[in-house]
Amino acid sequence: MSLTDHLRSPRDPIRAYFDLWLSEYGELKAQWRELGSIRFFPDFDVKWPSVVGMALDYRIRFFFEHYDAKDTVAARGAYFHKDSFAKIRDGIEKLLNTEPPQGRILSDKAEELLLQYCYVLALYEVDARASWYDSPLRTLRHNGVKAQLNRVPQNDLLDLKELTVAAHRAFEPLMGQPFHLNPTFSDSPLVHGADGDIIVGRNLIEIKAEKDGFRSNRIRQVVIYALLDSIGEYDLDECSIYMARWGKLLTWNLDNLIRQMSDGRFNYVEFRLKYHDWLLEVKRQYEQEETRQRNLDEILKPGRDELRRISEEHQSAREKGDRNLQIDESRRESGTVIPLRGLLHVRNSPILTRAA
């Protein structure tokens, strides 16, 4: 279960505790309204907007680092397409070695090719995160690079191009600072795994390409990521959400944000430790429940095994009885009858009564 899965349910303890103490969103909603009208949304149909968003995430990472595709989430989605993914990986490496994309937009032809690669990586990532039966990769007849790049819808590619240019403008001032791609956190295992998009300097940044504005779960997600850094490994003091379709980076000081959301009760470090203790308690309760369930299964196992044995014996006897109690058609006229099913049929068989 991913962090976003936990956040979908208000009853989930990981979200519920957050909501109990950090429930003030008034000023944050006002900041969202200040974004104004959406700026980058095409007037043509985009087939898979969510895949475009994932592809943009890959392209933004290439602004910072020449990374190996085998180290991405996409690689996990290539379980049934390992040969195809290997060719995509090789193609990406060849392009990156020819035209390094760090910090810049490439020439038109090279940039378009890189964006196609990013889109295909996003297709693989969708398969890694959730089985997608309509994935165009499932209809591949050939595993070559060209066959896979041909799965990129042209309108989606045009949309991705525009978003990439806007993202470069937004992230250019941050380039050259220390960074971490897809950072995991010391408390990530306590929420069944969690990795952010990128940390630049001391700023944790999540990238969102949806066309709608304020959503409280977006704030919850980026703040919980910051809280999961319970040992202060990244020395965070800011968090941001990059609103790709506005081309704007919303940034908050973590101390100020936690004070605002908690109505002045906590600062960032205080609540980070408090949340860590709560996650440990949730883990302890889960482990206790799992132990109780295992113990109950052990207690019930002999009875279940006995019921299974009796059921199998009854089934075997029933099948044997059905075979032995078949009507002998050759003896029907003489009145010698074996009923079709069991003793109940024997007692009530009119043929047997007549024969007697």
**Tally of residues, the chain:** 356
Q: What is the pLDDT of residue 345?
A: 43
Taking the alpha carbons at both ends of the chain, their separation in whole angstroms is 69
pLDDT at 323: 59
Residue 255 CB contacts under 8 Å (≥ 6 apart), including other chains? 237, 267, 268
Per the model's pLDDT, the better-predicted residue between 109 and 192 turns out to be 109
**Residue (of 247, 104, 241, 110) closest to 176 by Cα position:** 104
pLDDT surpassing 50 at residue 347: no
- pLDDT score at 324: 56
pTM for the whole structure: 0.80
- Among 63-67, 145-149, 184-188, 302-306, whose mean pLDDT is lowest? 302-306
Alpha helix ranges (H) inside the chain: 3-8, 13-21, 26-33, 49-64, 73-76, 82-98, 108-129, 145-149, 154-171, 216-228, 254-261, 268-324, 342-348, 350-355
Checking if the pLDDT of 6 tops 60, the result is yes
pLDDT at residue 354 in the model: 41
Reply yes or no on whether the pLDDT at 337 is more than 90: no
For the stretch 29-86, pLDDT in tens is 888 888 888 898 888 899 999 999 999 999 999 999 999 999 999 998 888 788 999 9
| Confidence category of residue 350, pLDDT binned at 50, 70, 90 | very low
Long-range residue pairs from 174-181, CB within 8 A, at least 24 positions apart, any chain = 174/200, 174/201, 174/203, 175/63, 175/64, 175/102, 175/103, 176/103, 177/201, 179/64, 179/65, 180/234, 181/61, 181/64, 181/65, 181/67
Whether the per-residue pLDDT at 328 is higher than 60: the answer is no
pLDDT averaged over every residue in the chain: 86
pLDDT in tens, 99-139: 999 999 999 999 999 999 999 999 999 888 877 767 788 77
Dihedral of CA 221/227/231/237: which sign? positive
| 326 pLDDT more than 80 | no
How would residue 141 be classed by pLDDT, with cut points 50, 70 and 90?
confident
pLDDT band at 211; cut points 50, 70, 90: confident
Instruction: Say what the pLDDT of residue 307 is.
Output: 79
Res. 241: pLDDT tops 50: yes
Tens of pLDDT, residues 272-301: 999 999 999 999 998 898 888 888 878 877
Angle at 202 between CA 199 and CA 208, to 5 degrees: 40
